[in-house]
Amino acid sequence: MVKLECFGQNAMQPVKILSLQRLSRGAAKKIEAVDARVQLTDAGGWFDGEIRETWPEFNTRRYMTADAQGHGSREERNRLLSDAEVVLGSWPYPLDLRQRAPALKWFHQLPAGASNLRMGDLWNSDVMVTTSRGVGSTLAIAEHALAGIMHFAKSFHQANFDRVAGEFDVAAYRPLLLDGKTACIVGAGGIGQDVGLLCAALGMRVLGIRRRQHGSAPLPEGFIRMGTAADLDGFLAQSDFVIVCAQWTPETTKLINKQRFAAMKDGATLVNIARGEIIDEDALLDALKADRLRGVALDVYVGEFEHLPPDTLWSDPRVLITPHTSGAADDNRHGGIDLFCENLRAYIDGRALQNVVDWQRGY
Contact 97, 120 (CB under 8 A): yes
> Has 157 been annotated as catalytic?
no
> Has 324 been annotated as catalytic?
yes
Catalytic residue among 275, 281, 294, 334: 275
Tell me how crowded residue 121 is: count the other CB atoms within 10 A of its CB.
16
Tell me how crowded residue 278 is: count the other CB atoms within 10 A of its CB.
25
Nearest CA-CA partner of 351 in 342, 359, 339 = 342
Catalytic residue among 205, 210, 324, 334: 324
β-sheet with 38-42: strand ranges across: 38-42, 15-19, 86-89, 106-109, 128-131
Burial annotation 332-348 (CB, 10 A radius, 16+ → b, else e): eebbbbebbbebbebbb
- What backbone phi and psi angles, to 5 degrees, belong to 216? -95, 15
Can you tell me the distance from the alpha carbon of 145 to that of 134, in angstroms, rounded to the nearest whole number?
16
Q: Where are the alpha helices (DSSP H) in the chain?
A: 25-32, 48-54, 57-63, 74-83, 97-100, 138-153, 156-165, 190-201, 232-238, 258-263, 281-289, 311-314, 336-349
Can you tell me the distance from the alpha carbon of 71 to that of 77, in angstroms, rounded to the nearest whole number?
8
**Looking at the annotation, which residues are catalytic?**
275, 304, 324
